[in-house]
Amino acid sequence: MASSRDTRTATAVSTAGPASSETPPLEPIRSRRRVRFLDDDQLDRLQDGTLRILEEVGVRFPSDTALDILGDHGAMVDRDSQIVRFPRDLVRRALSVAPRTFTMAARDPRFDLQLEDGVSYFTTDGCGVATIDWDTRQQRASRKSDIAEMARIVDYLPSIGFMWPTVSAQDRGRTSQLHEIDAAYNNTVKHFQAMVMGAEPARRAIEMATVLAGSGEALRARPMLSDLICSIAPLAQDHEGLEAALVFAEAGIPVGFLAMPTLGTTAPATSAGALVVGDAEVISGIVLLQLAYPGAPVFHSIMKAWADPRNGNYVGYSLDNRARYAPVEMAHHWGLPSMAACFGTDSPTAGTWQAGVEVALDPFLGGLAGPELVTGLGLDRTYTLLYPEAIILDDDVYQRALHALLAEDVSDEALALDVIANVGPGGHFLAERHTRIHMRTSLKRGLTHELAPEGGYRDPVEVARERVAWIRENHRPEPLDPHKAAELTRILSAADRDLGGAG
């Protein structure tokens, strides 16, 4: 594993329990082909729409701290309504100091994510509220132990670059977000992206991340935590979200703003209209952070949804999947890293036709558009319900996209013209040495092509369930240093006491 110190820790722990297992290297989507779906003129029009909304309509900032910062830097602040309007040159000036790339570090440095052009790291989905129980298969409220289970699966899957709290630690009350960090840090060596709200919880989260990093400086250099802040559509920020964002930005923790405009209710019923509303929310948050802490690592994310006019239901999937790529291109047009919104089917059940068809294109379109970060494998029922096998099914779709976007090899060895000439018209390749060498590696067996004992292939959903069971049984990620684990427990106890958690 990573460092000699970590290795010693693993050895020490292994005397008390089963030996830890190797975390397989990450396999992000590295697309050889980038496709621009929107042209410059369209992106300029969208950007101009955002700037006009920011200038003429404004965004509500329910935080005195935020209003002070924005007012000091020349934004037009209405203290009564808490609505802030932004001159466009202020927006541009603020965004000009936002970094285009940065590092999202991991407990094991080999799993640090160095954001770069052409590489897309995917995460688990978040943040569900219910779980199909791992053992009883009965639906129940989600809890901290579910995050621990998911973290071990995350640790095992090369498709998952970093982790979101897949479900909420509802058994831990007001400090649930801190318990989610604890569950992840103890069960995966990968980067964790939290959804912490409020200034004080943010300080405690930083304290936890500092334990992993060793010091505040080390954490700033290699942040092992990032945080995602949701805005409130339309055109409003959340008080607790803003307070947390400012605390994190000060400590160098990457902060993403996520807008979730819903066509027809919290946003106009046109895609472009919904995207500019979402963009205005995200950009206003990022402007605040750049004015307060110039150069703070930030990222941009818009997750579009619909109010289904037939029944009023909130749905993540219409027939139009352009929301997989359009927000990515908008973020990049601003010069910001993007977190694309993928996965999270509306299907109430895992492994159904709907669960397959809705997400089938997501990682492929995401890969073509080139976002740095992408959500989120593993949830059903519009990202509210965790089925243990869902992440494995989504992973299969991910692998299909990854292979479709790989560079095609047309080397002499791959073209095999000599072999073809040797076999000649009407022959066969079974007995060729070239076949024996390449056949072993050419077919990678996905869920769909697991052999059945009676012949043919097994039901892929059944295979996915077995694979989850296997991972739970066999994968033991490198444990956290026991001293660090104890320190996290101490911080959590204090937080439970001080903040009223149910830990």
Partner 1 sequence: MSGSTPPLAPIRPARHARFLDDGQLADLRSATLELLDEVGVHCPSRQVRALYADHGAMVDEAREVVRLPPDLVTRAMAQAPRGYVMGARDPDFDLVLDGTALHVATDGCGIEVLDPVVGRRSSNAADVGTAARLADALPAVGFYWPMLSARDHPRTAPLHELLASYANTVKHVQTETLMGAAPARSAVEMARVIAGDDVTLRTRPPLSALVCTIAPLAQDADGMEGALVLAEAGIPVGFMSMATAGTTGPATVPGTVAAGDAEIVAALTLVQLVHPGAPVFHSLMTGMMDPHTGAYLATPWEGEIAYVVGVELAHAWGVPTLAGVFGTDARTPGWQAAAEAGVALTLSAMAGAETGSGMGLLESCMLFTPEQLVLDADLHERVRCTLAAFDTSREALALDVVKAVGPNGHFLYERHTRDEIRRRRFSPLTGRTAADGSPIEPVEVARAEAARILAEHRPEPLDDAQGRELARIVAAADREAETVQAAVGR
CB nearer to partner 1: pick between 248 and 364: 364
Report if residue 343 touches partner 1, rule: CB under 8 A. Answer: no
Report if residue 431 touches partner 1, rule: CB under 8 A. Answer: no
Report if residue 342 touches partner 1, rule: CB under 8 A. Answer: no
User: Of these, 150, 249, 276, 342, which contacts partner 1 (CB under 8 A)?
Assistant: 276
The span of 14-22, 41-49, 104-112, 246-254 binding partner 1 (CB under 8 A) equals 41-49
Shortest distance, position 142 Cβ to partner 1, whole Å: 21
User: Of these, 351, 371, 388, 479, which contacts partner 1 (CB under 8 A)?
Assistant: 351
Please say whether the beta carbons of 370 and 402 come within 8 A.
Answer: no
Report if residue 52 touches partner 1, rule: CB under 8 A. Answer: yes
User: Of these, 153, 235, 342, 377, which contacts partner 1 (CB under 8 A)?
Assistant: 235
Shortest distance, position 441 Cβ to partner 1, whole Å: 9
Residue identified by tokens 């010091």 is: 215
- In order, the DSSP letters of 154-177 are HHH-TTEEEE--SB--GGGBTTHH
Please say whether the beta carbons of 118 and 374 come within 8 A.
Answer: no
Report if residue 28 touches partner 1, rule: CB under 8 A. Answer: no
Euclidean distance between CA atoms 334 and 95, whole angstroms = 8
Report if residue 420 touches partner 1, rule: CB under 8 A. Answer: yes
For 474-493, b/e burial (b = at least 16 CB within 10 A) is ebbbbbbbeebbebbeebbe
Per-residue contact string for residues 373-412; x = within reach of partner 1 by CB under 8 A:
--------------------x--xx-xxxxxx-x-xxxx-
Report if residue 421 touches partner 1, rule: CB under 8 A. Answer: yes
CB count, 10 Å around CB of 319?
Answer: 5
Beta bridge partners of 301: 258
The span of 117-125, 137-145, 262-270, 469-477 binding partner 1 (CB under 8 A) equals 262-270
> Amino acid identity of 96?
S
CB nearer to partner 1: pick between 133 and 320: 320
Report if residue 266 touches partner 1, rule: CB under 8 A. Answer: yes
Report if residue 419 touches partner 1, rule: CB under 8 A. Answer: yes
Report if residue 331 touches partner 1, rule: CB under 8 A. Answer: no
Report if residue 352 touches partner 1, rule: CB under 8 A. Answer: yes
The span of 12-20, 131-139, 435-443, 491-499 binding partner 1 (CB under 8 A) equals 435-443
Beta bridge partners of 124: 377
Euclidean distance between CA atoms 21 and 220, whole angstroms = 29
Pairing of strands 298-302, 255-259: parallel
Report if residue 435 touches partner 1, rule: CB under 8 A. Answer: yes
Which DSSP category does 16 fall into? Answer: T
**Continuous segment of H or E residues that includes residue 122:** strand 119-124
Report if residue 278 touches partner 1, rule: CB under 8 A. Answer: no
Euclidean distance between CA atoms 263 and 312, whole angstroms = 11
**Continuous segment of H or E residues that includes residue 108:** none
Euclidean distance between CA atoms 418 and 18, whole angstroms = 51
Q: Which of residues 437-466 bind partner 1 (CB under 8 A)?
A: 437-440, 442-449, 451, 455-457, 460-461
Please say whether the beta carbons of 321 and 284 come within 8 A.
Answer: no
Closest alpha carbon to 232 in 277, 175, 173: 277
Report if residue 87 touches partner 1, rule: CB under 8 A. Answer: no
For 209, phi then psi, to 5°, come to: -65, -30
Report if residue 68 touches partner 1, rule: CB under 8 A. Answer: no
Report if residue 263 touches partner 1, rule: CB under 8 A. Answer: yes
Per-residue contact string for residues 163-202; x = within reach of partner 1 by CB under 8 A:
----------------------------------------
Please say whether the beta carbons of 111 and 308 come within 8 A.
Answer: no
Shortest distance, position 86 Cβ to partner 1, whole Å: 13
**Continuous segment of H or E residues that includes residue 120:** strand 119-124
Report if residue 63 touches partner 1, rule: CB under 8 A. Answer: no
Pairing of strands 385-386, 130-132: parallel
Report if residue 97 touches partner 1, rule: CB under 8 A. Answer: no
The span of 285-293, 306-314, 335-343, 468-476 binding partner 1 (CB under 8 A) equals 306-314
User: Of these, 112, 308, 462, 487, which contacts partner 1 (CB under 8 A)?
Assistant: 308
User: Of these, 1, 218, 423, 499, which contacts partner 1 (CB under 8 A)?
Assistant: 423
Which DSSP category does 373 fall into? Answer: E
CB count, 10 Å around CB of 431?
Answer: 9
User: Of these, 33, 92, 137, 497, which contacts partner 1 (CB under 8 A)?
Assistant: 33
Report if residue 315 touches partner 1, rule: CB under 8 A. Answer: yes
Euclidean distance between CA atoms 133 and 472, whole angstroms = 13
Report if residue 313 touches partner 1, rule: CB under 8 A. Answer: yes
